[in-house]
Structure 1
Amino acid sequence: MSKQLVVDGIEIHVEGEGTETIVMLHGWPDTYRVWDAQVAELRHRYRCVRFTLPGFDIRKPRRSYSLDATMRVLLHIVNSVSQKQAVILMLHDWGCVFGYEFYMRNKALVSAIIGVDIGDAQSRATNRSRSIGQKMMVRGYQGTLALAWAIGGPLGTALTRGMARLLGAPSPREYISSGMNFPYYILGGGSAGSYSSLVPFVPKVPMLFIYGIRKPFMFHSPQWTENLAAKPGCKVVAMETDHWPMVRQPERFNDIVIGWLEKPAGTAEAEEEDAA
């Protein structure tokens, strides 16, 4: 079964008829389409809910969303699709940032979390784990995207698409615009609605963390994955991919997710896995 809802002006795609609901949040420079392979597989077992993040839809007028505004939209969406049950969150990139914060503010609404490639990205531990060159790369791409947001228009979008191509992003260029860069502008302190109020993410529900190892720097610290893997019901899996493991190796990714969802309480150990 598939249906569409509209919540706060955002089109919500609901696919599948399972008793549990998975709410999927993408990141930059993607849209709801980044989860195509996951929905195709998971819809036979779960209700899959996905949408393009507020501010990321190229068809809509350009605007930025503060952290609180984003949380309000997510709360409205979850309440609209949850069927009065806690939901599973599947998160990637900025979807992790927003999803982790949503969980910390609304713990009773979340039963489990699947985080993809973003852990304690803004922590001091992650910053210390990076070399000077890696720190420069992070500042370089984030600063470029913040600048593209400030420029806007065709030039800002061209700059954004160029950076997406440089970083190997799988999203089709026709869905990419400077409008989806506002989180980087806010992150740099250039706009109202700063992310400085983000609550440190400490999951108390089962969590699966999947990350790619074939990229120039990580978005988590070694301590973070070690601590997470030691928690009952939690699991850490490294895949031989870049920042988008769910797109690069969808079958392997889906197998990991399904296996964990079927028995999350028995997967406390960390794993370093090669999806050959």
Structure 2
Amino acid sequence: MQVAGVDVHVEGEGAETLVMVHGWPDTYRLWDSTVAALKDRYRCVRFTLPGYDNGKPARKPTLDELVATYAAVVDAASPDEPVTLVIHDWGCVFGYQYAMRHPQRVKRIVAVDIGDTNSKAFLASLPLKAKLGVAGYQLWLALAWLLRGNVGTAMTRNMARWLRSPSDPAPITWQMDYPYWMAWTGGLKPSVRVAPECPVLYIYGERKPFMFHSPQWPDRVKANPASKVVGLRTGHWVMLQQPDAFNGAVRQWLDNPNA
């Protein structure tokens, strides 16, 4: 179905709905193996972020518009029951904002590799080298968004290769870079502090130059007895680099929320 200008893909017949949202530089196909592992019991709903589909016109949505897209998809996919969000990268950034603004519509969250990145604690935890590294790749991609066209796409694909993205490079274009432009031009403000009250499964890659969460974040997650934190020996794209371990951890938590 099509909702709010995006194509929404639905697989599975389970009673519980999972809404899966990717980040940069991916599309809804990021979740292929996860859907295959879960669709026998769960209804899996996924979409490509607005503007990320290079077969459609470029878009530069606001934070409010992105949250509204999540809301429209959730309401269309599961009008009567709250959903479980399964989110990664920028899908987490925007998904957390949706969950904080609409807590009654989110039953639980599976968050992958992005925690409290809008907190003072996270910024304070980064050493100078990490801060320079973050600024370097984000400003590069913000510039690619500004330049657009073949130059912007070449810059984007080069950065994806440099960051060792395991995703298919063919769909990657400059159109995917608007979150970085937002980040450096005030487009992510005002954002709500990330502190979900629902149960959270936080899965992150341990083999990275730095974490995308503060040292306090795992303890905050585990303060809820129904929540869990899992670290895997991967980089940022956990679901692609160790799909069996990732899908197994997600399935076990979803099937046994009290385990």
CA distance in 1, matches of 2:54, 2:167: 13
One-letter amino acid of the structure 2 residue matched with residue 116 of structure 1: V
CA distance in 1, matches of 2:258, 2:123: 31
Q: Does 2:112 match 1:129? A: no
Aligned-residue identity in percent: 50
Query: Does the CA-based 8 Å contact 2:117-2:214 persist in structure 1?
Result: yes
1:233 maps to which of 216, 226, 232: 226
Q: Does 2:242 match 1:246? A: no
Give CA deviations for 1:119-160 in whole Å, capped at 9, x if unaligned: 011322112212111111000000100000000010001000
CA distance in 2, matches of 1:68, 1:134: 29
Q: Does 2:4 match 1:47? A: no
- Map residues 1-276 of structure 1 onto 2, 5 A cutoff: 5-189=1-185, 194-266=187-259
- Give the C-alpha shift of residue 254 in structure 1: 1.0
Give CA deviations for 1:162-186 in whole Å, capped at 9, x if unaligned: 0000001122111101111001001
One-letter amino acid of the structure 2 residue matched with residue 262 of structure 1: D
Q: Please give the TM-score of this superposition, normalised by the length of structure 2.
A: 0.98
CA distance in 1, matches of 2:118, 2:137: 15
Structure 2 counterpart SS, 1:73: helix
Query: Does the CA-based 8 Å contact 1:121-1:221 persist in structure 2?
Result: yes
Q: Please give the TM-score of this superposition, normalised by the length of structure 1.
A: 0.92
Give CA deviations for 1:208-258 in whole Å, capped at 9, x if unaligned: 000001111110011111121122211001000000111111111111111
Structure 1 counterpart SS, 2:118: coil
Structure 1 counterpart SS, 2:7: strand
CA distance in 1, matches of 2:79, 2:123: 40
Query: Does the CA-based 8 Å contact 2:84-2:107 persist in structure 1?
Result: yes
Q: Which structure 1 segments of 5+ residues have no match? A: 267-276
Query: Does the CA-based 8 Å contact 2:27-2:48 persist in structure 1?
Result: yes
One-letter amino acid of the structure 1 residue matched with residue 98 of structure 2: F
Query: Does the CA-based 8 Å contact 1:206-1:265 persist in structure 2?
Result: no
Give the number of equivalent residue pairs. 259
Query: Does the CA-based 8 Å contact 1:234-1:265 persist in structure 2?
Result: no
Q: CA RMSD in A?
A: 1.0
Give CA deviations for 1:9-43 in whole Å, capped at 9, x if unaligned: 21110000000000000000000000010000100
Which 4+ runs in 1 deviate beyond 4 A? none
CA distance in 2, matches of 1:140, 1:133: 10
One-letter amino acid of the structure 2 residue matched with residue 208 of structure 1: L
Query: Does the CA-based 8 Å contact 2:118-2:194 persist in structure 1?
Result: no
Q: Which structure 2 segments of 5+ residues have no match? A: none
Could you tell me which residue of structure 2 aligns to residue 273 of structure 1? none
One-letter amino acid of the structure 1 residue matched with residue 151 of structure 2: L
